[in-house]
Structure 1
């Protein structure tokens, strides 16, 4: 697939164009320079051409280990993926010395480059910047407006000589009916009401990646963990908290299983968040949780299961996602037995609604115990997808009722009539009772615990919906 890398100095509108071509809000946009730090990719559309888009951090003249230097190196890594480069400058502010510096650098690269002068929605305001852009030596500048979609047709024609001729391959599987593709899933990501369980019957593990989100407090090692799995510096890491802002998704394969790993921004308590960019980053992390299948809650082994960790875990459970606890920096923990006892006690006291949460100790920095963590993710995902035959469940329901009948309702029995699993991801059951309004939560928890125990559904959310049959004589 044709790959277009968008580069330029900070705050020229790269992420705005990225979101427009992706046709959904993916990158965080703000007037503050330097919002984007890691490069991120997605599939998008330039008119009728499907392309691979890469959004990069703002180009900076920094060559040390500072934050600006790391951002520049991330951009250089992204350029290795490029079939063509879109170099953006700001038409309103004109050509700066930094633009000239990086234009000289781009001319030495063996990559087709298109020079785009952004923010040209008003010709008079950007006329000076458009005229100055000829001096950069990158050919005729393209006036455009990423915010308004102006100039995209001209961009298509300037890039069309570099598009590869795609062979039309007949899909032999088409005769078996349409299948849900990853592009269709991505198209649904912009819909806040979208639930992955809606596509459950069409899931194909060969083409649909298992979506795993690494979440947690700031500076617990989420980005280091992603880099350790990929064995490359795919995302920036720093001792400074809050390095990651955008949720960065990367495709990866483990044991012939396709994954989509998502590194998210650290989440602090709302009361401590007063920065606008941090609020936007946290919202992006919450969206990543909602779209994930398995959430790996990364904990700091030296300070595990803080109040914020518990809050994140509860949010994951409420969203119905599978949860795995990964205790990072375990090699630096001195009293491992005491630390594990504290974690178990906090889970028992605060997350009692989810029994047997899978827990694993790792060291992302040293690459220890990462394969067992991935195996645990696959096992948990399988449990999250588990289905139980209706006949077995109703025989089980009779036994549970005989062992412990539901409390009486106004002196009359509240009979359990029928139960069936209405969906997986997470396992969700519908229970028909004679008087749903008088059905206590304590008895529902009794049934949920029995479902976990007798049908081997540990460590994932289990939901029971209480229903009643319609009375045909009510009218």
Structure 2
């Protein structure tokens, strides 16, 4: 049975944590009293909120006593619960307003990795309005007005919890894959390019043997050939492929089959090396191949072959670099290396770059780190307000790796301009260490729990 996402309820004593716990689990499991400090140990229960299922943890009131005292040990239990949770509900008493202890708890929560929702409890009537407004100063997203005693604000709580619960469910689905080290297996490295770029010669030089037939004739290689090899003790699966010409020039049935086999090899690979002939420079077909690799979500490296016989290397390199940045604007800064399959120049650097690129392609960012970056990115460049209606971006999560894929939750995200999506994707690459690997961003709006009623 899949593990339920976990929600921890935290706050200072007597703000209504146990009342909220009982409300969510639908039973009076936790003792409730006007006296502070009734709850000491963590209490857990299965909760359901308008069809949303999760595990909820009731914690002791957060106090600042010495760690060796009973309140200090209770605080340690609370801290452990928050660290293990997928999201924390930070309760304040909206009628009492924000207290110094609330501010201290907020500072502690901001320093952690667990996403936080501020719940302004006891907000029924007008008496709690000022406290809800004060809660904005705690430094989190918009506080949710709520009444645990009367059950008011359940739909708003559902809306706030939904992206976190969905994100935790996505991550749970990925756990089976993530538990295995994604870099433990052999590096699946495909060599692609136009005919006669030197792909088979490159593979032979890696292997230090004439494993592949080579020659001046274009199109010698027809099938994608997979070869297991080791580079300095690390396993590599080299895949030599048939040259890819522009579709309009492909008339022979066998060449069409070879091209389809090459595209299948790209799907199988983790990292793809697009080999260019430095004596011919970058051509339109090279950009089409590169775009195809990126569309498939593979990590891409550009290698300029025959560098030992290239004319005016500095100008050539700069020209290729500029043309790539302009022709593949969706992934600027692709690794560009110079090699010679004939002499072996630059091949060690190429393999090292392939391992580094796979590491970036397989990288997962913690939810806390991702959302700290996300909050700053939105603060520096808020989304537009088409028609005067604000687009509200709530939460960003990494749904999977290989390629890195992210889900952005918010309202009216269908109206988010493509330029803003590119702004976020480029920032993720630049600031979070993904480099030039393809990054996918999916937009998702919260479901309306009453939409079908």
Q: Is this a same-fold pair by TM over 0.5? A: yes
Are positions 1:469 and 2:446 aligned together? yes
Counterpart of 1:328 (choices 279, 294, 305) is 305
Higher Cα Rg: structure 1 or 2?
A: 2
Q: Taking structure 1 as reference, are residues 359 and 198 closer, same or farther at Cα in structure 2, changes over 3 Å only?
A: farther
Counterpart of 1:298 (choices 271, 275, 291) is 275
Counterpart of 2:415 (choices 438, 460, 465) is 438
Is the Cα contact below 8 Å between 2:325 and 2:333 reproduced in 1? no
Are positions 1:245 and 2:219 aligned together? no
Match of 2:186 in 1: 209
Is the Cα contact below 8 Å between 1:211 and 1:292 reproduced in 2? yes
The whole-number CA distance in structure 1 between the counterparts of 2:177 and 2:212 is: 31
The whole-number CA distance in structure 2 between the counterparts of 1:238 and 1:315 is: 27
Are positions 1:354 and 2:336 aligned together? no
The whole-number CA distance in structure 1 between the counterparts of 2:450 and 2:272 is: 48
Match of 1:278 in 2: 255
Q: Taking structure 1 as reference, are residues 307 and 230 closer, same or farther at Cα in structure 2, changes over 3 Å only?
A: same
Q: CA deviation at 1:201?
A: 2.3
Are positions 1:220 and 2:177 aligned together? no
Secondary structure in 1 matching 2:423: helix
Structure 1 residues 95-151: Cα deviation after superposition (integer angstroms, max 9, x where no partner): xxxxxxxxxxxxxxxxxxxxxxxxxxxxxxxxxxxxxxxxxxxxxxxxxxxxxxxxx
Secondary structure in 1 matching 2:330: coil
Match of 2:112 in 1: none
User: How does 1:22-37 map onto structure 2 within 5 Å?
Assistant: none
Secondary structure in 2 matching 1:339: helix
Is the Cα contact below 8 Å between 1:206 and 1:257 reproduced in 2? no
Match of 2:363 in 1: 386
The whole-number CA distance in structure 2 between the counterparts of 1:364 and 1:199 is: 39
The whole-number CA distance in structure 2 between the counterparts of 1:433 and 1:422 is: 16
Is the Cα contact below 8 Å between 1:430 and 1:464 reproduced in 2? yes
Q: CA deviation at 1:204?
A: 4.9
Is the Cα contact below 8 Å between 2:224 and 2:241 reproduced in 1? yes
Secondary structure in 2 matching 1:410: helix
Secondary structure in 2 matching 1:243: coil
Is the Cα contact below 8 Å between 2:193 and 2:286 reproduced in 1? yes
Unaligned runs of at least 5 residues, structure 1: 1-196
Is the Cα contact below 8 Å between 2:410 and 2:445 reproduced in 1? yes
Q: Taking structure 1 as reference, are residues 203 and 459 closer, same or farther at Cα in structure 2, changes over 3 Å only?
A: same
Secondary structure in 1 matching 2:386: coil
Match of 2:405 in 1: 428
RMSD between aligned residues = 1.6
Match of 1:108 in 2: none
Q: Taking structure 1 as reference, are residues 209 and 203 closer, same or farther at Cα in structure 2, changes over 3 Å only?
A: farther
The whole-number CA distance in structure 2 between the counterparts of 1:258 and 1:292 is: 14
More deviation, 392-401/266-275:
392-401
Match of 1:119 in 2: none
User: How does 1:130-145 map onto structure 2 within 5 Å?
Assistant: none
Would you say how many aligned residue pairs link Structure 1 and Structure 2? 279
The whole-number CA distance in structure 2 between the counterparts of 1:225 and 1:311 is: 22
Secondary structure in 2 matching 1:214: strand
Match of 2:159 in 1: none
More deviation, 316-325/406-415:
406-415
Counterpart of 2:389 (choices 382, 394, 412) is 412
Structure 1 residues 188-230: Cα deviation after superposition (integer angstroms, max 9, x where no partner): xxxxxxxxx9984254578732110000000000000000000
Q: Taking structure 1 as reference, are residues 437 and 206 closer, same or farther at Cα in structure 2, changes over 3 Å only?
A: closer
Secondary structure in 2 matching 1:225: helix
Secondary structure in 2 matching 1:429: strand
Match of 1:263 in 2: 240
Secondary structure in 1 matching 2:226: strand
Unaligned runs of at least 5 residues, structure 2: 1-173
Q: Taking structure 1 as reference, are residues 422 and 346 closer, same or farther at Cα in structure 2, changes over 3 Å only?
A: same
Runs in 1 of length 4+ with deviation above 6 angstroms?
none
User: If the length of structure 2 is used for normalisation, what is the TM-score?
Assistant: 0.60
The whole-number CA distance in structure 1 between the counterparts of 2:265 and 2:183 is: 22
Match of 2:296 in 1: 319
The whole-number CA distance in structure 2 between the counterparts of 1:279 and 1:414 is: 47
Structure 1 residues 298-320: Cα deviation after superposition (integer angstroms, max 9, x where no partner): 00011121000000000000000
